[in-house]
Amino acid sequence: MLQVPERYALFIDNEPVAPLSGDTLPVVDPSDGSTFAQMGRGGGADVDRAVRAARRAFDGSGTEPAAGPWGRLDAVDRGRLLRRWADLIDANREALARIESRDTGKPLGQARADAQALARYFEFYAGATDKLHGQTIPYRHGYTVLTLREPHGVTGHIVPWNYPMQIFGRSVGAALAAGNACVVKPAEDACLSLLEVARLAAEAGFPPGALNIVTGLGGEAGQALAGHPGIDHISFTGSPDTGRRVAQAAATHHCPVTLELGGKSPQLVFADADLEAALPVLVNAIVQNAGQTCSAGSRVLIEAPVYRRVLEMLAGRFAALRVGPGRDDLDLGPLVSQRQQQRVQDFLSQAHADRLEFAAQGTVVEHAPAGGFYQAPVLVAGVPPAHRLAQEEVFGPVLAATPFDDEAQAVAIANGTRYGLVAGIWTRDGARQLRLARQLRAGQVFVNNYGAGGGVELPFGGVGSSGYGREKGFEALYAFTSLKTVALRHG
């Protein structure tokens, strides 16, 4: 059984190590606002230490590339290690879920699903290590041309606080499977589960330096990682503004970047839709993780003839939602931090001042501790497409409902934000399903479902301010490799 220690170190070369400065940051329990542990405040020098450890694991000490204990490991053996790690995560699933729930505030059931998804990512990528191959290309007479998929070398991973285990799993799982050594910077608001998961990697038998974790502040450890010349690829998941800063820092040494950013994802409900099937999915898409989900379905666009009916059905469900401490495993837990709570309340105050219709809201249970960061889920109706609530990511449990008259208007409203992450279509009309799937500007489109339960196998990523590059599925493996073309002239 994993224990929650009071002091968390960084994780470098398979060892817990204190930051060179000796500084720590408080770890806050969002359910009551108390500090229950301290985490290391890593800085630039710690990042440098972690990058050197990763380089040794990948390159070794000589001049030959990829000759370190991790870099020269056979693909099949990388897969076996990932598989062993997945099994250890599975065996420790409950303990990991409890840590994640306490650290992020999410309901225990949702944290359990995250731990399960983490194991599933490693299982998926474990099976892929020895199936990632190049091609031979028909070329001129007397030549043989082939392509090699090679790991970048050392990859950096900057992770947000909303789904630490899942986002770590999808990005680090694919990077390690492709043969890279990793340096990870978790979010300052939620990092404990990842330190435990790293410890399990050492137990599974990963060589020292293959996986390193530097906790700390974004502007310190994060910025240092993004700009470190020893990093060969950066995978960033977080807000669009930080993503821009990370890409700029990486550009100083021409380091490729994958950006997984925010969203304002719409669900389009047509009058012919199966409303009974749609309703629970529409609600869950904004309530899950208290709306702190990049792919949250935060806008619902409803065809005029059924607008009032759908609104009433949604309102009934919103009114029944309950919010409380993560350990109570209700519909929603607290938001992750006071800052996040303030952000959501600012959006709601503006909606109120603009006289938008507050159609329904859930309840924070009476026994929820006063110091916790609770926010009842809110359904706001009649939101004009240009309103801030329909344009900007709230990152909280606020659903904006907007009516539309016809298909063309629905598409124009859906595509009318700077984001393009996910979209949902609810209709029984097959031709419309395909037409809209093509017309909607998004990295993923779901028809008569939403999110597909996470879908480890499904490539994921955005367009516009939702980012670029793809993670998850087999596609991620290509992103974590560099393609080399070898042309042999043999006559």
Please identify which of the residues 294, 303, 393, 471 carries the catalytic annotation.
294
Least spacing, CB of residue 294 vs ligand NAD, in Å: 3
Cβ proximity to ligand NAD, 42 vs 209, nearer residue? 42
Q: Per the structure block, which two tokens stand in for 392? A: 């900007």
Contact between 261 and ligand NAD by CB under 6 A: the answer reads yes
Strand order of the sheet with strand 398-404? 357-361, 378-381, 398-404, 299-303, 266-269, 422-426, 444-447
* Residue of the chain from 242, 361, 375, 417 that contacts ligand NAD (CB under 6 A): 242
Q: Whose structure tokens read 């220690």?
A: 5
Least separation in angstroms between residue 187's CB and ligand NAD is 4
Instruction: Determine if 453 is a binding residue for ligand NAD (CB under 6 A).
Output: no
Distance CA 92, CA 237 (A): 25
User: Is 182 an annotated catalytic residue?
Assistant: no
**Residue from 59, 260, 303, 331 that binds ligand NAD (CB under 6 A)?**
260
How far is Cα 45 from Cα 400, in angstroms, rounded to an integer?
45
Of these, 127, 205, 219, 305, which contacts ligand NAD (CB under 6 A)? 219
Task: Spell out, one character per residue from 143 to 172, where the chain touches ligand NAD: x when CB under 6 A holds, - when not.
Answer: ---------------xxxxx----x-----
Q: In what order do the strands lie in the sheet with 24-29?
A: 7-8, 34-40, 24-29
* Residue from the set 185, 199, 233, 264 that interacts with ligand NAD by CB under 6 A: 185
The pair phi, psi for residue 144, each rounded to 5°, is: -125, 130
- The conformation of residue 190, written as its DSSP 8-state character, comes to B
Would you say 319 and 419 are in contact if contact means Cβ atoms under 8 Å apart? no
**Which tokens sit at 376?**
């009842």
Neighbours of 219 (CB within 10 A): 11
Site string for ligand NAD, 462-491 (x = CB under 6 A): x----x------------------------
Stretch that binds ligand NAD, among 95-103, 182-190, 297-305, 306-314 (CB under 6 A): 182-190
Q: What count of residues does the chain have? A: 491
Q: What is the dihedral of CA 49, 54, 58, 64, to 10 degrees?
A: -20
Q: How far apart are the first and last CA of the chain?
A: 64
Q: Residue 171 or residue 180: which is nearer to ligand NAD going by CB?
A: 171
* CB closer to ligand NAD, 111 vs 421: 421
Q: Verify binding: residue 294, ligand NAD, rule CB under 6 A.
A: yes
Q: Where do contacts with ligand NAD occur on this chain (CB under 6 A)?
A: 158-162, 167, 185, 187-188, 218-219, 222-223, 226, 237-239, 242, 245-246, 260-263, 294, 393, 395, 421, 462, 467
Which residues are part of the catalytic machinery? 260, 294
